[in-house]
Amino acid sequence: MKRRQRIWMIGGLAVVAIAAGITVPLVLLDQSSASSDPATGGRTTYTVSRGDIQQTLVVYGEVAPKQEYTFTFDGDRVENILVDVGQRVEEGQVLVELDRTQLELALLQAERALKEAEAEGVPSTVRERQLSYEIALDNYENATLRAPFAGVVTTINQATTSSESWRIVLIDTSELYVETSVDQLDAPDVAVGQTAVATIEPLPDRNWPVEIVEVGGMAVSQGNSTTVSVTGRLPEAHPSILVGYTVEMEITTASASDVLRIPISGLREAPRGWMVMKLVDSEPTPQQVSIGVTTDEFAEVTEGLEEGDVIVLESATAPVDREQTGQGRGMFLIEGGGGPAAGGGFPGMP
């Protein structure tokens, strides 16, 4: 499955840097909270405020039915096919009638043998003939193939020779699901009970809510990637949604409401976590912070800042003050997976 790649660009060029000192990602800022402060040498600053953060993951999959049942039977036994492809059937409806001549003969013979055993009165023989009779009866009754559930006939493969088998496929569309897979690096963030929004390719004018109901118990190699299967349920089995339709699904993997948040570009890597440059008496001063939920744009601040504090944001043209940070050489980060991971550093960093 495709993964949404998120890349910060510096001056139109992508630069991959291994952080030897400060790690400073870039982000498009909310202009209402960011400003350029002459007192800090024209640096861009941001006033810490409260807001909502939602971390999402975009994956691709397809619509799947609640269940599927495949009938297979010998081609030389077919008497009547009573359904067509695309036909909706009810539970218990007859789909196929097979030739029962030999089955009827076997049933009559088993019935006669059972009666003879009962007349003789030997318990073990009676039990043996009873089981034979029950098997013959099941075989006779199963020569009439009935729908095990209400659904739609999707496939009828006719045998071309008497030695081949017919195949009829029935699907249950009373509930619809989205089957997809996520990269192994994203799998730990996905859990049963999370919500998602699906866009169905042939029905682009509407978004469909989805609930994650299953996360696979093992990872599977697919080409050059390793993925984990994920299943989401559509609460509405709308008739316009057909099994097999392509789906783009955006899963909400973490969220936080009315929390302190700052732009990702305000964060710098520190020896024991993360820090920001906080303005104290108009002077940028290092401040240790703890972060929670993060997105490409914002990070939740759980400790170290208060609402109304002003921090300095780095930009592609703003110089890094090595004396203020106490760090070595500053480098910009371009990361394929977005900003700092929830509750910690950027992926691959301590």
The predicted pLDDT at position 163 comes to: 66
Tokens of 323: 């004396």
Last-in-domain residue among 227, 255, 283: 255
Structural domain contains residue 339: no
Separation between Cα atoms, residue 278 and residue 136, nearest integer Å? 85
What confidence category does residue 213 fall into, taking pLDDT thresholds of 50, 70 and 90? very high
* Same domain, residue pair 112 and 166: yes
Find the DSSP H helices in 121-247.
123-141
To the nearest whole number, what is the mean pLDDT of the chain? 81
Specify the number of domains making up the chain: 3
Structural domain contains residue 343: no
Structural domain contains residue 342: no
Pairing assessment for the beta strands 331-332 and 23-24 based on DSSP bridges: parallel
Write out pLDDT tens, residues 94-129. Answer: 999 988 888 889 999 999 999 999 999 899 999 999
Work out the number of other CB atoms within 10 angstroms of the CB of residue 284.
Answer: 20
Structural domain contains residue 5: no
* Same domain, residue pair 287 and 223: no
* Same domain, residue pair 142 and 81: yes
Separation between Cα atoms, residue 274 and residue 113, nearest integer Å? 85
Write out pLDDT tens, residues 3-31. Answer: 343 333 323 333 333 333 333 333 344 54
CATH of the domain at 35: 2.40.420.20
Q: Domain of residue 116: give its range.
A: 74-171
What confidence category does residue 218 fall into, taking pLDDT thresholds of 50, 70 and 90? very high
Structural domain contains residue 13: no
Q: Which amino acid is at 11?
A: G
Structural domain contains residue 28: yes
Write out pLDDT tens, residues 219-238. Answer: 999 889 999 999 999 988 89
* Same domain, residue pair 159 and 80: yes
* Same domain, residue pair 87 and 153: yes
Structural domain contains residue 230: yes
Structural domain contains residue 78: yes
* Same domain, residue pair 249 and 267: no
